[in-house]
Amino acid sequence: MIKYMNVPKLRFLLSGSMTMLLFAAFSALAAESSLTDIPAVASVTFPKGTATPSEECGACHKAIYREFAFGFGSDIRSRAKPPKSPQEQGLNLPSNVSATATAHAVAGVDPFPIHTREAEAEGRSCNVCHFPEAFAIPDMEISEVFTPKPRPKGEETGGLTCASCHLTPEGKIRGPYNLRAPHDNFPDAQIKTSLMCAYCHSLGKRVAGKQTQTFLEWRDDFWKQGLGSQNCQDCHMPRTLRKLAEDYNVPERVAARHLWTGGRSLQRLQNALSQVIIQPAAGKSDFEIHLINIGAGHSVPTGSNRRAVYLEVQAKDQKGKSVVRKEWMFAPWYSARPDDRKHLEEDRQRPDAKAAMQADAQGPHEPIIRAGEERVLTWSPTLKPGSYTIQARLVYDLNRYNDRFITTDQTVFNTTTLAVQVRR
C-alpha cells in the first residue's frame, strides 16, 4: 500500500505528532482497503462496438467521463442555435444534454440534421464522423483523408462515444500506457498525436482555404514547416495528473483532459490570433491592420465552412462617436475554390446545391489565415483633421449564414485600439 502514497504527503505526516501520524496512517490504509485490485484476466468486452454508451466507460473512468460529458474544468458553453431570421424558431440542445458538454459528447444530438436528402439519394450520409465504426490510425504521409466507415443506421445511438476513438478494429482499447485492465489493452503512442484526429478533422486532399482541412493544415503548414512540434492534444487536451480509474488500486499517471476546447471556448479563441494597428505615415488617414496566426497550429478559422472570423474596424472621434467603419470576413471556402456569386447558376446542378449556393451567395471574402501567416489589411477612410481612436475587434461566429445582427452565437475575442492624429 505504501508504494502508492505520494511523497510530499508522506513527508508532512512524518513531521507531525505521533498521534497524527497513526491517525493518518490508519485512514490511508482504510481508504486503500476500499479500492479494488485489477482482475488478472480481462473480462470486459464491447459487443456493441463503437455504439457502446460512454456511460459504461464512465463507471470506471469517472473524471474523464465528467470532462467529456459535462465539460468539467473548461470554459465551454454551448449556446442555443439562433434562427436565420426573426421569423424562424431557434434550435436548442435537448434538455438532458449539458450546456457545457464537449463538442464530441453532443455530436450525436446536434439539432441540425445529420442526414440530408441529397446525400441519402446518392447513398451517402453526413453522419460518418458522428457515428464511426472502429478505425485504425492512418499514416502521417496520407495524401487523401477518407472518412471512417459509418455505423449502420440502426446503431446510430450515443453519438461520438469513448469507444469511437479508443476501440480498435480488433476489439481492444487503445491508450498511451501498457497497463493491465478489465478489458484488453492495446498500448499505442500514436493516440497522443494529431494522427488520432485526422479521419474526422480533414476530408479529401489538401486544398489551402477549403473547409474541413484541420489535420492537413496542421501537418503541412505547421508541423512540416517547423513552426512547432505540438500535436492537437497539446492545446485541445491539456495534461493532468490523476488515476485513470478511480476505484482501482493504481497510481496517478499523466493523462490528457478530454475537453477539446475550440470555437466555444474564449480561452482557445484568445490564443488563436493577435492583431496590431499601424499608421504608416504620421498625420495621414491610412492604416494597416496586421492579423498574426502564431497561436494556432492550423488555419483560423478552421473546420466547417459555417465558421467565420469578422474583423470590425472603426474610427471614433474625441467624443467616442463612430464616424466610419469597415468589416472583413474570414471563412473557409465551401468548395475547392473561393466562394463567389458568379457560381450560383452552376451550383443549381449540384447534388449539394443548397449548401453550395448558401456559401456562394455570400460572395467573395477573405481566405482563412494559415498557421504562421501574417495577413496585412489596408484601410484608408476619409477623415477630417483631428484626433481619433482606431478600434479593431475580432469576432468569432459559429454560423456565418445567420443574419449578421444575430450575436448569440458570436464571441468577441480580441480588441485593439490606436490613438492617432489626422492632419490631412
CATH code for position 323: 2.60.40.10
Q: What is the pTM of this model?
A: 0.86
Contact at 8 Å (CB) between 295 and 394?
A: no
Q: Domain of residue 406: give its range.
A: 267-332+368-422
In angstroms, the CA 237 to CA 261 distance is: 8
420: which strand partners? 388
In angstroms, the CA 254 to CA 50 distance is: 25
Sequence-ordered strand ranges (E) for 208-337: 239-242, 253-256, 274-278, 287-292, 308-316, 322-330
Residues 146 and 113 in one domain: yes
User: Does residue 355 sit within a domain?
Assistant: no
Burial class (CB in 10 A: 0-12, 13-18, 19+), 170: exposed
Given the C-alpha cell 475554390, which residue does it identify?
337
Q: How would you write the pLDDT of the chain (424 residues) with one tens digit per residue? A: 333 333 333 232 333 333 333 334 434 444 444 567 777 777 899 999 999 999 999 999 999 999 999 999 999 987 766 666 655 666 667 777 788 889 898 887 765 544 443 444 444 455 567 888 999 999 999 999 988 888 887 777 677 899 999 999 999 999 999 999 999 999 999 999 999 999 999 989 999 999 999 999 999 999 999 999 999 999 999 999 999 999 999 999 999 999 999 999 999 999 999 999 999 999 999 999 999 999 999 999 999 999 999 999 999 999 999 999 999 999 999 999 999 999 999 999 999 899 999 999 999 999 999 999 999 999 999 999 999 999 999 999 999 998 888 888 899 999 999 999 999 7
| 222 grid coordinates | 505547421
Residues 8 and 91 in one domain: no
In angstroms, the CA 408 to CA 36 distance is: 47
pLDDT at 201: 94
pLDDT at 155: 75
Cα–Cα distances (Å) from 16 to 25, 30, 55, 81, in that order, read 12, 20, 42, 57
Residues 123 and 243 in one domain: yes
327-336: buried (b, 16+ CB within 10 Å) or exposed (e) per residue?
ebbbbbbbbe
Residues 143 and 250 in one domain: yes
Give the count of beta carbons closer than 10 Å to the beta carbon of residue 416: 16
In angstroms, the CA 50 to CA 361 distance is: 39
**Residues 277-285: contacts with CB within 8 Å, 24+ apart?**
277/390, 277/392, 277/416, 277/417, 277/418, 278/418, 279/390, 279/418, 279/420, 282/421, 283/421, 283/422, 283/423, 283/424, 284/422, 284/423, 284/424, 285/315, 285/380, 285/381, 285/382, 285/383, 285/422
Q: Domain end: 261, 276, 300, which one?
A: 261
Residues 200 and 231 in one domain: yes
Element (H, E) at 422: strand 410-422
User: Does residue 337 sit within a domain?
Assistant: no
Cα–Cα distances (Å) from 124 to 37, 119, 165, in that order, read 47, 5, 22
Residues 375 and 404 in one domain: yes
Q: Residue 25 CA to chain centroid, in angstroms?
A: 44
pLDDT at 120: 41
pLDDT at 27: 43
User: Does residue 338 sit within a domain?
Assistant: no
Residues 417 and 293 in one domain: yes
Give the count of beta carbons closer than 10 Å to the beta carbon of residue 192: 17
- In this structure, what DSSP letter does residue 198 have? T
In angstroms, the CA 372 to CA 368 distance is: 12
User: Does residue 351 sit within a domain?
Assistant: no
Cα–Cα distances (Å) from 359 to 257, 282, 332, 350, in that order, read 35, 40, 10, 13
Residues 60 and 100 in one domain: yes
Contact at 8 Å (CB) between 402 and 82?
A: yes
| 270 grid coordinates | 484568445
Residues 326 and 226 in one domain: no
pLDDT at 150: 83
User: Does residue 346 sit within a domain?
Assistant: no
| Nearest alpha-carbon partner for 136 in 181, 102, 103, 166 | 166
Residues 26 and 46 in one domain: no
Contact at 8 Å (CB) between 399 and 361?
A: no
Give the count of beta carbons closer than 10 Å to the beta carbon of residue 4: 13
Residues 198 and 317 in one domain: no
Domain count, the chain: 3
User: Does residue 358 sit within a domain?
Assistant: no
In angstroms, the CA 252 to CA 238 distance is: 16
Residues 247 and 313 in one domain: no
User: Does residue 343 sit within a domain?
Assistant: no
Q: Domain end: 208, 236, 261, which one?
A: 261
Q: Domain end: 261, 279, 312, which one?
A: 261
In angstroms, the CA 38 to CA 306 distance is: 46
User: Does residue 359 sit within a domain?
Assistant: no
pLDDT at 151: 83
| 208 grid coordinates | 489551402
